[in-house]
Structure 1
Amino acid sequence: MSTQANNDVTTRDTWEEAEEAAETTLAQQTSKLSLNANAAEFRPNVYAKEFIPSWLPQPAQTLSEPVVEKSESETLADILVEGTPPLPKPAPVTENETEKKTAPSSTIATASTSTQITESAPEEQDEHVDAELLKELYGKEHLNVVFIGHVDAGKSTMGGNLLYITGMVDQRTMEKYEREAKEQGRESWYLSWALDTNKEERAKGKTVECGRAYFETDKRRYTILDAPGHKNYVPSMIGGASQADVAVLVISARKGEFETGFERGGQTREHALLVRTLGVNRLIVVVNKMDDPTVCWSKARYDECVTKLTPFLKGSGYNPATDLQFMPVSGYTGANLKDRVSEEVCSWYSGPSLLEYLDNLQALDRKVDAALMMPIDMGTVVVGKIESGKVSKGQTVLIMPNRRAVEVSLVYNELEEEIKVGLCGDNVRLRLRGIEEEDISTGFVVCSTLAPVKTTTAFEAQLAILEHKNILCAGYSAVLHVHACVEEVSISALLHSLDRKTGRRSKRPPQFVKKGQKVIARLESSAPICVESYEDYPQLGRFTLRDEGKTIAIGKITKIIESE
């Protein structure tokens, strides 16, 4: 009996081994179907229901396009999200291919192909971002407008009135400002209080810091940068103007005030020259206070101001035909700010109003596709204008020059509303994670981890000497203003002088330079600074040199000397 039982067990084991061998042979056959050369080998699940292929074996093929379908909105969003390349449109799907999608091996092949595409693409793409697409996804275009001009020209009053007529400041708030200003004997200053918010500015009637405000029209979003007009606060003016896209030069038409601002001691000349140096190529000259009793919308007075200003602005680098626009306004009454001035008041002017002209300006060329560059203006919740690229929530960025990698936890717009992505040209606030307040200073740059901004203590630059009593020699020290950075520098060597007419370099280095001359010089800073060559990033490659409260020279960086 025991022998027969053993034979039964042996026979049963033999049958099971035969069945297992048959199953193994079947598994090997199904794994050799080779639907895709890039697909992983198919391993059946022994716990799953029996799998019966519904197609015939085919020779190996290489998928030229991924089969993963994406909605149109997801594909458009991929263009704007840093590090995600847009996928091509999927090929038409046939019935047989639909069946393949249900098979595990086909799914694995698709995932493998998608992974290869993602890994082969760089994290930052130079994809073209269409302007209409940006408008559809992120709304109106943003424009930074800086108000410049001599002290008491009416910059803050005009800015405050713009906020009021565009609805950013309500009538109740403005009535409160008017009542408080009247109590202090400053009744005509109440409009400026919308921008001049601290007690010192309201008491003296002078802007000290570069004020910020926001408004929007039907066509665009605007950030007002109200620059101080007093000569003691020119550094603050430079910080604001370095972020501007368009400058509004405010001129007072009142008898005596225009002459005071335009003379050598006034700030009209220096402000106009500085904004041109800082890369602001469009200048709107508004002749303000046309409602003053000494002017009364006089065409003769308006033409006098325009005639005196035009040659100087042309000499500063502005093309009167393409870069300049003159218009008469009244910042106090609001005439010609939003709506065109009526013919009854000013019959001789038929041009656009200020907001009408700003709304119809040609769209700016933004470097949305470039690597992220954002000079820090202030804070741990850092504030600044994005000069190139884009920044999004959750992105890892680099703080230069201290090379700290941090995460962007939140992005805010001008109204301090949370947004997903900030684009080139936007003024944004970034809440950073992984860095302390003492590790960030004004002039540092938020940049891409793949293409960080250059950091150096020495560079070569082309200088144009504007105003200096004495000659300049090697060893001369001054204060450098580049983007939001302010640093002490010295001229370590004069390399070449430039011929005024031909621009040719001298063979021998000059011993000195003086007012009106141009020179190639080597400059050294007391601490590392974040700069780029002018050709690569104009906003990070142009600068001014100031000494004793005056702008001594303007320049552009031609070569960055790498730090050892």
Structure 2
Amino acid sequence: ERQSRHGRRAPCRCHQSCRRPAGEVGGACPWASSAAPWRRGPAGGSCPQTCQTRALLAYTLGVKQMIVGVNKMDTTEPPFSQTRFEEIQKEVSAYIKKIGYNPATVPFVPISGWNGDNMLEPSTNMPWYKGWSIERKSGKSEGKTLLQALDAMEPPTRPTDKPLRLPLQDVYKIGGIGTVPVGRVETGVLKPGMVVTFAPANLTTEVKSVEMHHEALAEAVPGDNVGFNVKNVSVKELRRGYVCGDSKDTPPKATEEFTAQVIVLNHPGQIANGYTPVLDCHTAHIACKFREIKEKCDRRSGKKLEDNPKFIKSGDAAIIDLVPSKPMCVETFTDFPPLGRFAVRDMRQTVAVGVIKSVKPKEASGGKVTKAAEKAQKKK
């Protein structure tokens, strides 16, 4: 918490756990260790795989601002080595540029988290470091410490005018209260008394209350991580990956199939029709089949290069029809960006990223409307 703003830290110990909080934040700060010897990463260059994966996941999940902290500078040979810092800065800059970031907007800060060098105050151990300087749309910023780099981050805009979309992170059963889904409001507004629909289950009920940090809210807006009590719903009826929306304003629906532009970043072989990796899309983690690779295209311009290619490989971009193996809810990137981008996971790593161009919803069948929802709808 600062005088000008306050923020929430979403820690991740490894890139697997990074997938979960990355979608919740407005900025990322991956650590690049200066201590360990760097080997060639899977996507080229010597930026290590963990650093690559975290930066890639941040970009895929829509994190537009980044700070790179070059940590453990006290353990380099010699300690606080300028050469080592510049080597790492060069390698990481090349990689983040490749995946979509502009290095001119990314502060690189040499730090020692253990000793506190350049964390809160400028370090006397690195007189060669003249500080970072960046230029974003809002103007130029400069400084020497990690804290100053955090202060220079621009607060993200929050789309309150769009229909409600809230992907569930977890669902809890709390004694004396009942079923409490937990998640981050991505778009729209969530209020007590609202009748909501959960997709892909097509379950409709009333929101009894909304809380954040143990305080009741009159409304939750994009960026808020909240828990909300729902009536007449068992904890077994909801699960992580479901999407909550306003039942009266473009409610979310189950997805039958969707078309996406996929960029293959790191796959050791060839990808053909029938390939079935796991997709991480918002909070969902579901295997999806590459039903048809429709065309190969230029990854930057989107221009068509080849119709119906037999396979694609690392470095290629393609338009692909995908089919979820289990009930799933996704949206187009243009309508709901947080629900329209995904990472493709295989062999314990991120092999591709994608954005969803179009969605074919599944015909509604079954579902459930609770008594609380029916009662609330009659009142209105």
Partner of 1:318: 101
| Structure 1 residues 107-506: aligned runs within 5 Å | 216-229=1-14, 234-254=15-35, 256-258=36-38, 263=46, 266-292=49-75, 294-322=77-105, 324-337=106-119, 339-342=120-123, 344-347=124-127, 348-350=129-131, 351-380=143-172, 381-413=180-212, 415-449=213-247, 450-499=249-298, 503-506=302-305
Partner of 1:98: none
Q: CA RMSD in A?
A: 2.2
2:243 aligned partner, one-letter code: V
Partner of 1:555: 354
- What SS does the aligned partner of 2:84 have? helix
Distance apart, 1:498 and its partner CA: 1.0
Work out which of the two has the higher radius of gyration on C-alpha atoms and give 1 or 2: 1
Distance apart, 1:492 and its partner CA: 1.0
Q: Which runs of 4+ in 1 moved over 6 A?
A: none
Task: Say if 1:367 and 1:502 are closer, same or farther in 2 by CA, change over 3 A.
Answer: closer
Which consecutive residues of structure 2, in runs of 5 or more, have no partner in the other structure?
132-142, 173-179, 364-380
Distance apart, 1:295 and its partner CA: 4.9
Asked if 2 retains the 8 angstrom alpha-carbon contact of 1:375 and 1:384, the reply is: yes
Task: Say if 1:299 and 1:236 are closer, same or farther in 2 by CA, change over 3 A.
Answer: same
- What SS does the aligned partner of 2:156 have? coil
- What SS does the aligned partner of 1:223 have? coil
- What SS does the aligned partner of 2:256 have? strand
The Cα offsets for residues 294-351 of structure 1, whole Å up to 9 and x where unpaired, read as: 45333232222112211111111111122x11112221233333x3224x33333342
Distance apart, 1:259 and its partner CA: 5.2
2:13 aligned partner, one-letter code: P
The Cα offsets for residues 111-151 of structure 1, whole Å up to 9 and x where unpaired, read as: xxxxxxxxxxxxxxxxxxxxxxxxxxxxxxxxxxxxxxxxx
Partner of 2:327: 528
Distance 1:305 1:508 in 2: 40
Asked if 2 retains the 8 angstrom alpha-carbon contact of 1:457 and 1:527, the reply is: no
TM-score by length of 1: 0.57
Partner of 2:175: none
1:227 aligned partner, one-letter code: C
Task: Say if 1:501 and 1:275 are closer, same or farther in 2 by CA, change over 3 A.
Answer: closer
Distance apart, 1:507 and its partner CA: 6.4
Distance apart, 1:443 and its partner CA: 0.4
Task: Say if 1:427 and 1:219 are closer, same or farther in 2 by CA, change over 3 A.
Answer: farther
The Cα offsets for residues 232-260 of structure 1, whole Å up to 9 and x where unpaired, read as: xx443212212221110111122x35558
Distance 2:87 2:308 in 1: 45
Distance 1:448 1:334 in 2: 47
Asked if 2 retains the 8 angstrom alpha-carbon contact of 1:546 and 1:552, the reply is: yes
Asked if 1 retains the 8 angstrom alpha-carbon contact of 2:264 and 2:314, the reply is: yes
Distance apart, 1:287 and its partner CA: 0.9
Partner of 2:318: 519
Distance 1:507 1:296 in 2: 52
The Cα offsets for residues 375-432 of structure 1, whole Å up to 9 and x where unpaired, read as: 100013222111111222332222222122222222222x333332221111112222
Partner of 1:115: none
The Cα offsets for residues 167-204 of structure 1, whole Å up to 9 and x where unpaired, read as: xxxxxxxxxxxxxxxxxxxxxxxxxxxxxxxxxxxxxx
Distance 1:260 1:383 in 2: 39
Distance 2:48 2:153 in 1: 33
1:332 aligned partner, one-letter code: W
> Is 270-279 or 535-544 further displaced after alignment?
270-279
Distance 1:242 1:320 in 2: 21
Distance apart, 1:434 and its partner CA: 2.3
- What SS does the aligned partner of 1:553 have? strand
* Structure with more helix by fraction: 1
Distance 2:16 2:286 in 1: 12
- What SS does the aligned partner of 1:220 have? coil
Asked if 2 retains the 8 angstrom alpha-carbon contact of 1:369 and 1:389, the reply is: yes
Distance 1:465 1:275 in 2: 16
Give the percent of matched residue pairs that are identical in Structure 1 and Structure 2: 31
Task: Say if 1:283 and 1:258 are closer, same or farther in 2 by CA, change over 3 A.
Answer: farther
Asked if 2 retains the 8 angstrom alpha-carbon contact of 1:406 and 1:433, the reply is: yes
1:428 aligned partner, one-letter code: V
Distance 1:475 1:260 in 2: 30
- What SS does the aligned partner of 1:423 have? coil
Distance 2:301 2:40 in 1: 36
- What SS does the aligned partner of 1:398 have? strand
Task: Say if 1:269 and 1:467 are closer, same or farther in 2 by CA, change over 3 A.
Answer: same
- What SS does the aligned partner of 1:377 have? strand
Partner of 1:43: none
Partner of 1:508: 307
Task: Say if 1:297 and 1:366 are closer, same or farther in 2 by CA, change over 3 A.
Answer: same
Distance 1:370 1:499 in 2: 31
Which consecutive residues of structure 1, in runs of 5 or more, have no partner in the other structure?
1-215
1:465 aligned partner, one-letter code: V
| Structure 1 residues 66-81: aligned runs within 5 Å | none
- What SS does the aligned partner of 1:557 have? strand
